[in-house]
Amino acid sequence: GEIVTNGGRVLGVTAKGKDLKEARANAYKATEWIDFENKYMRHDIGHAIDEA
């Protein structure tokens, strides 16, 4: 099969970790496995966790 997108929010990624900081890092690492044309993702979600 083929997954097709026409823009907008097309998926969400979640992950686990020993704490929120690790879970956030694991979620962003998981996005490396996702690829499609014109892929765009935010990098600021949960940013305050890294500063805590």
3-state secondary structure (DSSP) of residue 28 = helix
Eight-class DSSP state of 50: H
Rounded (5°) CA angle 28-33-38: 85
> What is the residue whose two structure tokens read 């907008």?
8
Confidence of residue 42 (pLDDT cuts 50, 70, 90): confident
pLDDT (0 to 100) of residue 52? 67
Q: What is the pLDDT of residues 1-38, one digit of tens each?
A: 887 878 777 889 999 999 989 999 999 999 999 888 88
Nearest to 36 by CA among 48, 24, 2: 2
Could you give the CA distance from residue 23 to residue 7 in angstroms, rounded to a whole number? Answer: 27
The full set of domain ranges for the chain reads: 10-44
Is the model's pTM score more than 0.85? no
